[in-house]
Amino acid sequence: MIYGNPNTSNLTLRIEDVNDTFNFLHPIPNTVFEACALGSGKTHAGYFSDRGKALAEVTRVNRNVQHKAIFITLNPCKDALLSRSNHEIKVVKSRTSDLDIMNINHFYIDTDPVRPSDTNSSDEEHELALEMMHTIKKDLSEMGWPDPLCGDSGNGGMLVYKIETQTNNKESTDLIQRTLKALALKYDTDKVKVDTSVHNPARLVKLLGTMTRKGDATPDRPQRLSRIISIPEQPEQVMHEQLKALAGEQQKAEQKQKTNTEGRVDVRAYLNHYGREIIKEKNQNGWTLYCLKECVFDPSHTPNEAYIGQEDATGKLSGSCFHNSCKGKGWDEARQIISGNAKLTQFMSGNNSGYQEQQQENVEETRDEEDTPKKKLRAITIKDFLYLELPPRENIVDPWLPTQGLIMVYGYRGIGKTFFIIGLSLAVSSGDKFLKWEVPKPFSVLHIDGEMPAGTVQERYAKLIASQAKEPVAQLKIITPDLQTSGMPNIAHPKGQEMIEEHLDGIDLVIVDNISTLCRYGRENETESWYPIQEWGLKLRSKRISVVFVHHAGKGGFQRGTSSREDVLDTVINLKRPADYQPEQGARFEVHFEKARNVYGDDVNPFEAKLETHEGNLIWTLKDIEESLTDRVVDLLKEGVKQDEIADILGVSKGTISKHKYKAKQAGKWTG
């Protein structure tokens, strides 16, 4: 079952979520579990076998704003604990210990954003934690794991898998801890961590549907209502062997990433050498953070917002700044600014000082080096080059999508990217006009969708085909997860690329929708994670095949991850959400060109597109941004909204509202 994401600004309890959490974790009637409220100075806890009474107590306690959060035991308790606090949450001397747990029924993954202690997460931190949670869930699903309870804890993400029942002993606990460490080694970033401390049998988890008040509510760090995102209707268990297989990856990863104290970068010496003042050094979640007086990327930022970090276990380096404008920048970018291409060897100790530098500078060269045949470069004289007969580049979509083009289209989740991509596929394969752009002739298309259910994609294609003037005449092929028996290929890996290339005969345009689901390599915010996909795109370009990459926008509205993706791209289009957008409006967005080679003037002016239904047909209506803003001002004026309030709603100045009000009067749209 998939739950919505309602506006919870006026809610402090979701009873449906609370009941569903009870039923998922403790489905057997009369099972004893603990519910407790923490954060008011004293521990309040109660033991329950009656879920109805538990709900009544949770409802009562949840109203008390002194409680930071309400939790529930992940696994069932011994019946005797009922006498400790029988169906009442009250001040208690003792809580559930690991020895009080009957057996281990669940595997819990907590994706937690890095932030100061006792604070709520910011919207950006919150979103990054949920993104990591969804990535882990997807990857585990591809490994054959069943669907978990998927939740938003209010500050981060949580996944709870039902597992083959384990005896409560050290062997079982160690297995769960090793499995968590394997996930942490694979997914941890300097901004979000997988909590490896949640392995113990008596572990508490957030009771979803209740409030999270880790810190005081502030505009940039609000308190939130925890919620269920999705829950399986018929939960299945993760088998013991599946846990062992994943735990085994931890030993391999540790061996690969292990470094001695020799060969590690002395970060303090490195920063001091290049004149970067350290104002504080602190340990956090297995990392040593060297907090800087001045942000590497923008000196105007407040001191202590930027840092260089080193992972204690591996010596791995990271760099970050909590400021929105620095989002997506990491160690690679920081190092370039601090020391350029200068080697790190002088800041390493021991005889094997080159090892760590080689790991960080030559990831691609060291990977499978012995198994990769040497490549030969071809060089020709300028005379021969000028006499080469090269086929002319023509436009697939005039003027921004050329043959041999590499394009990116990105925007927020739910903004209408899928309708944009399906409309583009149909227009290109039929030679029909798309939005305001001409398609000179039909071109063949391969649409790779890595996210949507096949039924949804089919329905949207059918509606748009029925609504357009021309049907596809060139080849239009679709690859979608529901048609596969062994999951979707990973386009960041050569084997995944080969699987796609088997379907490229006669194809002019490949659409990769989207990077997050189809290009799984490394961390999204690291430049090197993009290199395998970039190389593949250049390979297709050499074969006269264009590629459109589809991507998600982060909280700040910019593309998620490294900005170096744009280096080889011809065109970058950002689908932005209008300031007064309402969810019921569906696919409505502003089209902005952020990069456009050889496209100028009016062709790159932003405009608004909206998919509307007219007489049963889906029709794109277009407006330039100025006209659209004038119409929105008129609509709000007719509703009786004051000018200063309109300015706040639309995110513009009062003077802008006055200008558009005047334009509306001149055009006869407003007479007030």
- Sign of the C-alpha dihedral computed for residues 411, 413, 419 and 423 taken in this order: positive
Q: Are 216 and 343 in a shared domain? A: no
- Shared domain check, 437 and 507: yes
| Domain finish residue from 318, 349, 380 | 349
Name residues whose C-beta falls within 8 Å of residue 383's C-beta, 6 or more positions apart in sequence: none
pLDDT given for residue 40 in this prediction: 65
> Does 280 share its domain with 412?
no
List the chain residues with pLDDT less than 50.
2, 4-10, 258-262, 350-372
Q: Which residues of 379-400 are buried (b: 16+ CB within 10 A; e: fewer)?
A: eeeeeeeeeeeeeeeebbbebb
Domain assignment present for residue 2? The answer is no
Task: Give domain status of residue 635, yes or no.
Answer: yes
431 lies in some domain: yes
* Statement to judge: residues 246 and 296 lie in one domain: no
Residues with Cβ within 8 Å of residue 266, at least 6 apart in sequence: 347, 348, 349
**Range(s) of the domain holding residue 430:** 395-605
98 lies in the same domain as 233: yes
The reply to whether omega before 399 is within 30° of 0 (cis) is yes
Helix (H, G, I), strand (E, B) or coil at 247: helix
In a domain? residue 366:
no
| Cα–Cα distance, 395 to 670 (Å, whole number) | 42
Residue 371 lies in a domain: no
241/302 same-domain check = no
Q: How far apart are CA 574 and CA 590, in angstroms?
A: 8
Q: What is the pLDDT of residue 8?
A: 42
pLDDT at 656: 79
207: CATH: 3.30.70.1790
In a domain, 375, yes or no: no
pLDDT of 262? 46
CA nearest to 393, candidates 213, 544, 179, 538 = 544
Gap between the Cα atoms of 591 and 420, Å rounded: 10
Please indicate, yes or no, whether residues 126 and 189 belong to a single structural domain of this protein: yes
Count of domains for the chain: 4
Q: Are residues 587 and 647 both part of a single domain? A: no
pLDDT in tens, 269-284: 888 888 888 888 887 7
Residue 390 lies in a domain: no
CA distance 200 to 75: 10
Q: How far is CA 19 from CA 22, 56, 86, 162, in A?
A: 5, 11, 19, 17
Say whether both 319 and 226 belong to one domain. Answer: no
**Is the domain of 226 the same as that of 316?**
no
| CATH number of the domain that residue 478 is part of | 3.40.50.300
Count Cβ atoms below 10 Å from residue 651 Cβ, excluding itself: 10
User: Same structural domain for residues 550 and 644?
Assistant: no
Same domain, 323 and 405: no
Separation between Cα atoms, residue 191 and residue 129, nearest integer Å: 8
Residue 363 included in any domain: no
